[in-house]
């Protein structure tokens, strides 16, 4: 048995993967980063709940929630789904449809308001 087989083991999923490749894949996201992202997400969520009980006007409150939700989505997709560490073409292929969908929702809401239908 060679040294690489001894390090990687007999796992069929890692049969042709070197130890260096496994270490490189796991070094991208360590426990400290996961906990830091967790605390950021928790703080943003608590802030969202607290401002819901404030006297902020409804329209400003909704746009604040939308912004904070996008911030949380960035952290979730970037760190927990590991897309922050992906190559640029992969990111563009995922972000372009997302922005087009958001744009279409914005257009639908704008047209609805222009026709006299309020979304809330």
Quick check: 76 and 44 in contact, CB under 8 A?
Answer: no
For the chain, percent of residues with pLDDT exceeding 70: 68
| pLDDT, mean of residues 24-30 | 59
Number of domains present in the structure of the chain: 2
- Same-domain status, 51 and 97: no
Same domain for 31 and 19, yes or no, is yes
- Answer yes or no: pTM beyond 0.85: no
The gap between the terminal CA atoms of the chain, to the nearest Å, is 67
Whether residue 9 is found in the same domain as residue 35:
yes
My answer on whether 72 and 108 are in the same domain is no
pLDDT at 27 > cutoff 70: no
Range of the structural domain that residue 105 is part of? 86-120
Model confidence pLDDT, tens digit, residues 2-19: 555 545 455 555 555 556
Q: Are 42 and 68 in contact (CB under 8 A)?
A: no
Regarding whether 118 and 94 lie in a shared domain, the answer is yes
């Amino acid at each position: 048995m060679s040294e690489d087989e001894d390090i990687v083991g007999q796992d069929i999923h890692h049969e042709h993967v070197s130890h260096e490749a496994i270490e490189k894949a796991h070094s991208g996201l360590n426990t400290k980063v996961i906990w830091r992202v967790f605390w950021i997400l928790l703080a943003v969520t608590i802030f969202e709940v607290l401002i819901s009980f404030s006297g902020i006007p409804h329209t400003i409150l909704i746009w604040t929630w939308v912004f904070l939700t996008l911030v949380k989505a960035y952290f979730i997709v970037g760190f927990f789904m590991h897309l922050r560490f992906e190559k640029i073409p992969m990111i563009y292929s995922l972000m372009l449809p997302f922005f087009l969908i958001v744009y279409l929702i914005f257009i639908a809401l704008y047209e609805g308001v222009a026709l006299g239908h309020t979304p809330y």
